[in-house]
C-alpha cells in the first residue's frame, strides 16, 4: 500500500501537468498579437488606422518619433509610415529580412500575426484607411 500512494501521486501530477500543455504557438500568439485582440483577418484590405497603427505604436513609435528619430527614421504619421513602407524598411526590419536591421531593437520579434498584418497593408497599396 505504501508503494501505491506515491505512484498514484506521481501519475496524478504527470496528468495534471501534461493536460494543460498546448503546442500551438501561432494560435496562442494570434490571440494576443497586436492590440490584444484576435489576429486580424488578413484576407481583405487591412486598415491602417485600426490594425497597422496599434502595432507600430507598440513596436516602433517609442524610438522613431519626432523627438528621438532613432537611426534617422521618423515614424508616427501616415506620410512618414508610408515613406518607409514604400522603401521596404518597415517590412524588411520586422521580418528580419537579410540586409535590414532587425526591429524592434532590444525587444522580441513581432508575432507572425503582426508581421502578416503589416505585409498585407504594404501589399495592398499602403492605404490610408
- Domain borders along the chain are 25-123
Per-residue pLDDT of 14-51, as tens digits, reads 554 444 444 444 444 434 444 444 565 667 789 999 99
Question: Which residues contact residue 124 at a Cβ distance below 8 angstroms, ignoring those fewer than 6 apart?
Answer: 45, 46
In this prediction, residue 62 carries a pLDDT of 95
* pTM > 0.85: yes or no: no
pLDDT in tens, 91-123: 999 999 999 999 999 999 999 999 999 999 999
Amino acid at each position: 500500500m505504501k508503494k501505491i500512494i506515491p505512484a498514484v501521486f506521481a501519475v496524478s501530477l504527470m496528468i495534471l501537468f501534461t493536460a494543460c500543455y498546448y503546442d500551438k504557438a501561432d494560435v496562442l500568439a494570434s490571440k494576443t498579437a497586436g492590440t490584444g485582440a484576435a489576429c486580424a483577418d488578413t484576407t481583405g484590405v487591412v486598415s491602417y488606422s485600426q490594425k497597422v497603427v496599434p502595432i507600430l505604436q507598440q513596436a516602433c513609435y517609442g524610438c522613431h518619433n519626432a523627438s528621438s528619430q532613432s537611426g534617422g527614421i521618423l515614424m508616427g504619421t501616415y506620410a512618414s509610415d508610408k515613406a518607409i513602407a514604400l522603401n521596404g524598411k518597415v517590412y524588411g526590419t520586422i521580418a528580419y529580412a537579410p540586409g535590414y536591421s532587425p526591429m524592434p531593437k532590444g525587444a522580441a520579434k513581432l508575432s507572425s500575426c503582426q508581421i502578416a498584418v503589416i505585409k498585407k497593408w504594404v501589399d495592398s497599396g499602403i492605404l490610408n484607411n
